[in-house]
Structure formats: C-alpha cells, structure tokens
Amino acid sequence: MAPWRVARERPVPSAVEQILSTVPEWFGQPDSNAEYIEAAKTLETWTARTADESVIGVTLIDHHFPESAEIHFTAVEKAHHGHGVGTSMMSAIETDLRQRGVQLLTVKTLGPSHSDPGYSLTRRFYRKHGFIPLEETSIWGEGTPCLIMVKPLAVETPSVQE
C-alpha cells in the first residue's frame, strides 16, 4: 500500500504554490505560476496526501465538454518524484473520469522541438500512461512550442449530438 492517498477534494491553491516552489526546473515562470495558483481556486482538484495530511501532489482538471477533460496542471513535490505519486494520481483520475462518462483526456506540455530535458521526462511520463501526441502548436508563443497529447478513456463512440 502506498504511503499516500489520492482523492478528489476541495481547492488547495496554497498547496499548488508550495509544490511549485519545489520544482522550478519545470515551473520557473512567475506569470504562469500565478495562473496555476489562481486556477487552483476553481478547477477540479485532485491531491496526493501523506498520512499526516501533507499534500505532495496536485492535479487540476478542466472540463470543456461532458465527453472530454484536460489536465490543466499536475505536479508532485520534488522529494517524491519517482515514487509513483503521479502514476497514482493519473490512475485515480482516469478511473473517476471514465465512471463519469468522459471519453477523452488531454494535456498540453512543452513540445519536443524545444530541447528542455525536464520536459522530455514529462512527455515520457504521459506516453507511459497512454497519451499520444496529437499536435505541436505555437499557441503559447514563439519559442514555447505546445504539444497537445490525448488519451482515449472509452472504447465506445456514442452518437454525436450538436
């Protein structure tokens, strides 16, 4: 049994801020960090908590449509990297989203045309969990390529309604 538990819960913007401070190699832009902290006040929140209730991981989910969801933000405290916290969060989130009828999960991350080694690990994490690259775009501006990755959560395709 893991020494943490994963659950959907109340917003925890202060935990997002604290976790961001432990991983500046991924989250080193103050404007972006402020946006993540602000988003943490309203988006669906998943946490990984230790037995003493410390938050060691947070994922924020944005629901654009009933059939699709986006991982808006996910981070694990640096001291807990490589121990399965992120994998536990992904598993719990995907199970819950499937139960709620979500069929497609997306995530945006720094694209492979940028040489940042940390984001190479991020892309590898998502690929390991079944995400496939869809498109690299310039929506984040010149020099910051955005890779959109997708993961089907449901095998059935329902009839389309407009």
Condensed to tens digits (0 to 9), the pLDDT of residues 97-121 reads: 999 999 999 999 888 878 776 677 8
pTM: 0.89
The domain spanning residue 88 has which CATH number? 3.40.630.30
Q: Is residue 34 part of a domain?
A: yes
Q: Is residue 159 part of a domain?
A: no
Q: Among all chains, which residue has been given the structure tokens 């945006």?
A: 108
The domain total for the chain is 1
Query: Measured between alpha carbons, how far is 153 from 34 in angstroms, rounded to an integer?
Result: 30
- 127 band by pLDDT with thresholds 50, 70 and 90: very high
Of residues 119 and 149, which shows the higher confidence score? 149
Q: Is residue 160 part of a domain?
A: no
Residue span of the structural domain in which 129 resides: 4-152
* Class of residue 62 by CB neighbours under 10 A (exposed 0-12, middle 13-18, buried 19+): middle
Task: Indicate if the pLDDT at residue 158 is higher than 60.
Answer: no
Q: Is residue 161 part of a domain?
A: no
Amino acid at 109: T
Query: Measured between alpha carbons, how far is 28 from 40 in angstroms, rounded to an integer?
Result: 17
